[in-house]
Amino acid sequence: MKGRILVIDDDDELRSYVAEALTTEGYEVATASDGEEGVKALNSDPADLIILDLFMPKMEGFETLMELRRFSPAPTVLAVSGGGRFAAPDMLTIAGKLGARKTLPKPFTCQELLETVEDLFAERTAQAV
C-alpha cells in the first residue's frame, strides 16, 4: 500500500472516479460525502492525505479545512473545486492560504490527479527524512 487517502466530495460520480483511480494505483481509499462525515471518518481512522472538495452541504470545504487544522499532526490536504458561484482559482487560492498543501481545479484528468497525489506523497517522504 502506498498510503491512505480520504476523499471528501459530495459528487457521488466524482468521488467514485477518484477512489477507483487511486485504488488502482495502490492507495487505500476511504470516502465521505461531506465534511461532517469526513471529519468523523478521520477521527476513527487517520489518513495520510485528504482530497477535499470546497463546495459541499452540511460542512463545506473551508469549514472542514479549518477543522482539519485541529488534528495533530494536521493532515495533508489537496483542495479541489469547480468554483461553484465563484471563480475556482480564487477559491483554491484561499484554500491554499488556509492550509491546503496543493490545489486542483475541476474538471481534472486522472493523470493530473495522480501526479498531484504522487507529488504530495513525495513531499511527505522528503520531510520525514
Q: Which residue shows C-alpha cell 482539519?
A: 68
CATH no., domain 4-128: 3.40.50.2300
Tens digits of per-residue pLDDT, 29-39? Answer: 999 999 999 99
Mean of the per-residue pLDDT values for the chain?
A: 91
Q: Does the global pTM surpass 0.85?
A: yes
Q: What is the per-residue pLDDT for 18? A: 97
Taking 60 as the threshold, does the pLDDT of residue 120 lie above it? Answer: yes
> What are the extents of the domains in the chain?
4-128
- Exposure string over 50-88, b if 16+ CB within 10 A, otherwise e: bbbbbbbeebbbbebbeebeeeeeebbbbbbbeeeeeeb
pLDDT band at 73 (very low <50, low <70, confident <90, very high): confident
From start to end of 24-75, where are the E strands? Answer: 28-32, 49-53
Average pLDDT over residues 86-113: 87
